[in-house]
Structure 1
Amino acid sequence: MNETLTTADGRPALRIERRLAHPPGKVWRALTEPEHLSRWYPFTATELDLRLGGLIAFDDGRGTVMDAVITELDPPRRFAFSQRAPEGMARESEDLVRFELHPEGEGCVLVFTHVFDDRFAAASYASGWQVCLDALSAELDGAPPEVRRPSAESHDAYIERFGLDAGSAEETADGWQVRFERQLTRPAETVWTLLTGGSRTDAPEPAVGGPVPRGFTAEDIPPGEVTAAERPAVLVYTWQSAGRTAGRVRWDLSPGTGHGARLVLTQTGPEEADTERGTALAAWRRRIAELAAQLRELP
C-alpha cells in the first residue's frame, strides 16, 4: 500500500493506492452496495441512493448519523461523495472521499483519496483507512473482515512519515513563538496523569506559584513556576534564561480525532533570546516524541 499526504485545492489530501486481485466490477459492488460497504467502511450505510447527487446516510452505531452527497459516479471507475459533519457539529467545509478503479491484469488498482481540513489529523486518518482497506480486501476475498482499532504504532509511524512531528517558529510583536501540534494516542486525562508523575499516587498536582512537574519540561528549557493549571487541559509556566524569566511555555490538551487528545504546545521568547528559539524547536521535538513513545507503552 502506498500512502502520501498531499494537497487538493489548498486542503490536505490523503492518497492511498492499493492493488487488488479482483476485477473493477467486483470491487465496485463492494464500494457502492450498502450491504458490502457497511462491512468494511467505518460506518454503516443505512441508505445509499446510487446516482449523481444522491444521498448516503451513515450510522456510527452510537447514535450519530452522518449524511453524504454523491459528487462523482462513473461505474465502475469513479465513485466520490462529500461527507457532512454530524448534526450539531460546526465545520466550515465537508470532507471529500473518492475511489478510483484502474484495471490491471485480472485485478485492479484502487486509488483512494480523502480531502479534509485538519492537517494534524492525517496520521489518524491514514492509520484508520489502512484498517478499513484491509477489511475491504478481506470482504473481496470472502473472508470475515476484521474490525479492529488502529494501533498507536501505526499512527505514530504516519506522524513521522508525514512530517507532522516538526514544529514551527514565527516572529511576534514581543519576540518569537515556537509551536507544536500533535495528535496523541491516549485521552487527555491519561496524558495529564503521565505528565504529572505516571501511576504514582503521591504525585502532586501542579498549582499556580508552584514547581513545574518534570513531565511538562524539556531538556535545555529551564522551567520557572506554574502560572496557570487546569486538569487535564492546560498548564502554563515561565521559563528562565540567564536567571531571569524569558517567556512562557503553554501545554493545551483538547479532544482530538478519536485516537486521543490533541496537544498544542507553545513557547514564547524575547527577541534578544533569538538563539534559544532553535534550541526550543529541537528540545520540544525530542520531548514530544518521548511522550508519544511513553503513551505507546501504556497497557
Structure 2
Amino acid sequence: MGNLEQYTPRPAYGAQVQKDGEKWTLILVRELRHPPEKVWQALTDPRHLREWAPFDADGNLGTAGNTVKLTTVGAPTLHVTETTVTRADAPEALEYNWGGFNMRWELKALDGGTRLTLWTNIARHFISMGAAGWHICIDVLDHLLNGTPIGRMVGPDAAKFVGWQRLNAEYAELFGVENNWPKVAKKL
C-alpha cells in the first residue's frame, strides 16, 4: 500500500459545470495512461472500486440491468442505495445512479491511454466539494492502475486532507461559486 502523506494533488483542472436551474452537472475529464479495458475493470469490478471509489459495490457494475447495492464509504450513518446499471457498453460507456446522483462514465481510447469523462449531478452548493472529491478519487484510481496504490481517500478522511481543502477552494473559484466548506465544517 502506498503512502497518502506523499500524495499532493495537482491544482484544479479539467472540470466544468453544466447549469440547468438548480440542477448542476459536474463534468470531469482526465487522461489516463492505461487502455480503456483496464480502466473499465477499475470502474466496474467491486474489488477495484474498493480501492478508490467513494462507495463499495456488492456486485459488478459492468452489465446493463444488474442490480447492485452501493454503500457510501465514510457516511455518518450507514447509507446503502440500490442501483440498476442502465448502460454498460464495455469499455466505452457506463451509467447508473448512486444515491440520487446520475453517474455517466465515458472512456475514449487515446494513443497509449484513455480519456475518462465523468458526468454527475451535484447540488449547486456542493459542486466544488464534489469536484475536489472526484479529483482525488480519480488520482487514487490512476495510482492504482499504475501499480503504485496510495489508498482510498473519501468522505470525512478526504475532507480533513489539506489537498482536498485546497482543491475545493480552487474549484469554487473556477466555477464562480461560494466555497461552502467552512460552513459545512462547523456543523460536523
Give the TM-score category using the shorter length. 0.7 to 0.9
1:36, 1:81 → 2: CA distance?
17
2:175 equivalent to 1:184? no
When normalised by structure 2's length, the TM-score is: 0.78
Which residue of the other structure, out of 96, 107, 111, is the alignment partner of 1:105?
111
Shift >6 Å, 4+ stretches: none
Residue in 1 that maps onto 2:17: 5
Moved more, 139-148 or 102-111: 139-148
Residue in 1 that maps onto 2:124: 119
Residue in 2 that maps onto 1:57: 69
Which residue of the other structure, out of 69, 75, 79, is the alignment partner of 2:94?
79
Residue in 1 that maps onto 2:171: 158
1:58-89 Cα deviation digits (max 9, x unpaired): 223563212222121111100110123xxxxx
1:49, 1:134 → 2: CA distance?
21
Instruction: Please give the secondary structure, in 2, of the residue aligned with 1:101.
Output: strand
Residue 154 of structure 1 deviates from its aligned partner by: 1.4
Instruction: Please give the secondary structure, in 2, of the residue aligned with 1:76.
Output: coil
2:53 equivalent to 1:41? yes
Residue 34 of structure 1 deviates from its aligned partner by: 0.9
Instruction: Please give the secondary structure, in 2, of the residue aligned with 1:146.
Output: coil
1:77-123 Cα deviation digits (max 9, x unpaired): 00110123xxxxxxxxx21011101111121110111123x111101
1:8-40 Cα deviation digits (max 9, x unpaired): 697211001111111111111111111011211
The structure with higher relative contact order (CA 8 Å, sep 6+) is 2
Residue 2 of structure 1 deviates from its aligned partner by: 0.4
Instruction: Please give the secondary structure, in 2, of the residue aligned with 1:157.
Output: helix
> Does the Cα contact within 8 Å between 2:62 and 2:90 map onto a contact in 1?
no
Percent identity of equivalent pairs: 27
> Does the Cα contact within 8 Å between 1:136 and 1:145 map onto a contact in 2?
no
When normalised by structure 1's length, the TM-score is: 0.51
1:36-67 Cα deviation digits (max 9, x unpaired): 11211011112236422222212235632122
Instruction: Please give the secondary structure, in 1, of the residue aligned with 2:152.
Output: coil
Q: How many residues align?
A: 165
In structure 2, relative to structure 1, the CA distance for the partners of 1:38 and 1:9 (3 Å cut) is farther
Name the structure where helix makes up a greater proportion of residues. Answer: 2
Instruction: Please give the secondary structure, in 2, of the residue aligned with 1:111.
Output: strand
Residue in 2 that maps onto 1:27: 39
1:82, 1:143 → 2: CA distance?
29
2:21, 2:91 → 1: CA distance?
25
Larger Rg: 1
Structure 2 residue ranges without an equivalent (≥5): 1-12
